[in-house]
Structure 1
Amino acid sequence: MNGTITHQFGRAFTGQGEKNIYTDLINEARKVYFIKSPPTFKLSDLFKQVGYHYVKRGYDIEWFYDPLHTDVIEATYVKSNRILFIQASHPVSFEPKYYGSTHHVISFYEAYDEQKLREHGGFLREKTLHSEQWLAKALQTLTTAKNIHDEWEVPYVDGMDWNGFDTQAEALFADTFTTLKFNKPSQRHHRLMGTLTPEGPKDHFDSLTKGVKRRIFIKGYPGSGKSTLMKRFGEHAESLGLDTQWGWCGLDRNSIDYVWLPELQTILFDSTSPHEYEPERSGDEIYDVKKFRELNENEGLLVDGIIGRYREVIVHAIEYLQVYCTDDETIRETLDTCVNNYKWQEIEMNLFQKIDNSSISK
């Protein structure tokens, strides 16, 4: 029987800069293969091959996608074996700590033709400098968006019925946890469900929750305590010995979009724009916090103005990401013309031999 594939993002463009969960994933893994190469699209195919290698043998895996090129895979994680294969030199560089034991480096640099690289060197340098400028503009614009979003929260925070909010939260906790208590330490894992991309906001909610029995859709306004509630929910679960998975927000790196409790098959999820979903199957329910704050007419006009400014800034951020994406695509495609495919395939074969030998030695 084949294993399952879950889709996630590994990085996000946020209002506080670029965020990734790869360091957490490296720490979570039992064994890590650090795959090193210049910027390339070819590693995505390798991560697919590795993923299918394990899926066909009954292992569940996760694929982590590039937020710039949303069909490009940056890492494959074999969940039950806790084996991670990660692109470790571009666009984020990671170095192994545990040489000779659980960390292994696979380098594709020797598969590049030095003469061809020199021929394209000047063009690649110019294009890289140009792309970095557009990424900086995109991130600066997202910082502006985050500041406007903070402004959007103020009218709701000031008038919330927090007593009613807390009473409803207590009922949720009592209903979910009852008298559960596990005699074991909890484990917290970190993921990124969604992010802003050159095509607009994207997420992998359907993939993440395809096997979850209870999905709780939080409906609320900015500043209505959704992220705080989910953090409290996760921390309470951990105090009972339950494992948790925290899905971090794609705009605010300090906020979360969901908490998943694998042992209870329950997810508490921020179901508001830009990842707004509705119940559609048995086990789905709405958790409404909108009812704890009603705006008057003047407050509504104020919020409408903020929303307009926020959406305009997000459009500009997307436009900048599109230019950055085009430059990055050109860089990768140019470098891919410099690859000696025979040497590349040889390195790939050596990697799969290591994988097979590792399986045999267990």
Structure 2
Amino acid sequence: MSEKILRYFAGGNTAKGFYSLYDTNLAELERVFVLSGKSKKEKSNIINHLIKKWNDFDYPMEIIHRASNPDEAEGLIIRKLSFAIVDGDHPREMGKEHIVAQWETIDLDQSDRTADLNDEINEVIDLKVKIEQSCLHAYKAYETGLKVHDEWERIYIDHMNFDLADNVAKSLISTLFKKPGAAANKDSNIKRRFLGAATPIGPVDFVDNLTEGLSARYFIKGRAGTGKSTLLKKIAAEAEKNGFDIEIYHCGFDPKSLDMVVVRELGWAIFDSTLPHEYFPTRPGDEIVDMYELTVAPGTDEAFAEEIANVEARYREQMKLGKFYLAEAKKYEDELEAIYSKVSDHAQTNLMIEELEHLMVNQSSHS
């Protein structure tokens, strides 16, 4: 069995629209297959087959999940083989600066099988339009929700002691980086990802998976606007300054904010442990850092209880609306996949899988 599988999202449904963080995760890989084709399900099936095949070997794997259907994979990375296979279609973005000679696009629609769609082409076009419109409605709801969230943050920002917040950061940085490690004579390797995503079934996260096996986990608690993301940015900057490899997990709601920083060389993770990814200590090495208790004027919750309740209700309504529209988009996608399945060439797909397996075996023999 694979010694470790990391699960995360590289693209998310956010208040800034669909946001892609693929680039840093594919950088420096020698062999990358970029799948292109109408059917998301077919691409996921190919990736899932390779995951099952290589799960019996002792290679750590990274599985990239699909925000529109979190049970499906849209990418597989095996770094020991310098190999990846990913769904490369819109709206994902992969910077050309990372593409090297052995990157290859596989067009699943190049055969004549798509000609059989002619009878249903109008229905296909109509469903694609509906999917796009539903997603845009979802992003608009999240955008509105972010503006409401800014109101929520302002309540606490106005009653926060920034000197105390700076002291919390300095103390944590001292604790996190006191252990000697491989921090000299190299540049940081930074991977940017999402630990969770807004999906048609609601928020989904992989915090437990991503922090498994680490000796220390720091759970940042606090209200909106109490400096959780700012604290994480300071810690990430310190890790980079000292030359540690870093996993930076962006907020799936507002990608300009951070949700988690992991430095595996030092054995720790520190993350925003509030809804929708609220966790509590369960094992030795777990510790809570409560930014509300440490930095905000006592009694703020009580003094502004009515205003906070109003803002929170409006925020939750927008999150509920966003989920509704993502679920609507998923319904249309399922109808579209049902049409595509009628013309799927399973024999051709199986041949493609066999060829990919052969290439991966050759890659492993040279690794």
Q: TM-score, normalised by structure 1?
A: 0.94
Give 1:298 shift.
Answer: 4.2
Q: Is 1:265 aligned to residue 267 of structure 2?
A: yes
- Judge conservation of contact 1:219–1:288 (CA < 8 Å) in 2: yes
| C-alpha separation in 2, matches of 1:352 and 1:160 | 56
CA apart distance, 1:51: 2.0
Q: Which residue of 1 aligns with 2:245?
A: 243
| 2:160 corresponding residue in structure 1 | 160
Q: Is 1:325 the equivalent of 2:315?
A: no
Displacement after TM superposition at 1:80 (Å): 2.9
Residue 5 of structure 1 aligns with which residue? 5
SS of equivalent residue, structure 1 residue 80: helix
Are the aligned partners of 2:134 and 2:326 in contact in 1 as well (CA < 8 Å)?
yes
Q: Does 1:359 align with 2:337?
A: no
SS at match of 1:7: strand
Deviations 1:215-260 (A, max 9, x none): 0000111111110111100110111111111001010010010000
Q: Could you say which residue in structure 2 is the equivalent of 1:26?
A: 26
Contact 1:96 1:104 in 2 (8 A): no
Tell me if 1:183 matches 2:215.
Answer: no
Q: Does 1:53 align with 2:58?
A: no
Q: CA deviation at 1:179?
A: 6.7
- Tell whether the 8 Å contact from 1:248 to 1:256 is kept in structure 2 after alignment: yes
Per-residue displacement from partner, 1:130-158 (whole Å, max 9, x unpaired)?
22111111111110001111111001111
Assess if the C-alpha contact under 8 Å between 1:7 and 1:63 holds in 2: yes
Q: Which runs of 4+ in 1 moved over 4 A?
A: 93-100
Q: 1:343 to 1:194 in 2, by over 3 A?
A: same
Matches within 5 A, 1:163-174: 163-174=163-174
The Cα of 1:175 is off from its aligned counterpart by 1.6
Q: Counterpart of 2:69 in 1: which secondary structure?
A: coil
- TM-superposition CA deviations, 1:5-56 (whole Å, max 9, x none): 2211222111111112112222253321111221231222221222233332
Q: Is the 8 A contact 1:131 1:328 kept in 2?
A: yes
**Equivalent residue in structure 1 for 2:290, among 288, 291, 304:** 288
CA change 1:129–1:119 in 2 (3 A) is same
- Contact 2:179 2:266 survives alignment (8 Å): no
Residue number among 355, 358, 363 corresponding to 1:350 in the alignment = 355
CA separation of 1:152/1:112 partners in 2, compared to 1, >3 Å: closer, same or farther? farther
Indicate if the aligned counterparts of 1:39 and 1:91 stay in contact, CA closer than 8 A: no
Change (3 A) 1:114 1:240: closer
* AA aligned opposite 2:307: L
Distance 1:88 1:160 in 2: 44
Which amino acid counterpart does residue 352 of structure 1 have in structure 2?
A: E
Whole-Å separation in 1 of the counterparts to 2:349 and 2:241: 48
- Post-superposition offset of 1:71: 0.7
Indicate if the aligned counterparts of 1:34 and 1:96 stay in contact, CA closer than 8 A. Answer: no
Q: Which moved more, 1:246-255 or 1:336-345?
A: 336-345
Asked if the contact 2:18/2:91 (under 8 Å) is kept, the reply is: no
1:316 aligns with 2:318: no
Q: How do residues 81-120 of structure 1 correspond to structure 2 at under 5 angstroms? A: 81-92=81-92, 101-111=101-111, 113-120=113-120
In the alignment, the residues of structure 2 paired with residue 100 and residue 321 of structure 1 have an alpha-carbon distance, to the nearest angstrom, of: 35
**Greater alpha carbon shift after TM alignment, 350-359 vs 338-347:** 350-359
Mapped to 2, the partners of 1:20 and 1:136 lie a distance apart of 16
Structure 2 spans left out of the alignment, 5+ residues: none
Say which is worse superposed, 89-98 or 293-302, in terms of deviation.
89-98
Give the distance between the partners of 1:271 and 1:360, measured in 2 at CA.
Answer: 42
Q: For 2:39, give the aligned amino acid.
A: P
Change (3 A) 1:192 1:99: closer
Question: Offset at 1:304?
Answer: 1.2
Q: Where in structure 1 are there 5+ consecutive unaligned residues?
A: none
1:187 is displaced (CA, Å) by 1.2
CA separation of 1:307 and 1:159: change in aligned 2, threshold 3 A: same
Partner of residue 281, structure 2: 279
Per the alignment, do residues 265 and 30 of structure 1 end up closer, same or farther by CA in structure 2, a change over 3 Å counting?
farther
- d(CA) in 1 for partners of 2:71, 2:19: 19
Cα deviation, residue 264, structure 1: 0.5
For each residue in 1:187-224, what CA deviation from the matched residue of structure 2 results, as whole angstroms up to 9, or x when unmatched?
A: 11111111111111110111111111100000111111
Following superposition, the deviation at residue 302 of structure 1 comes to 1.1
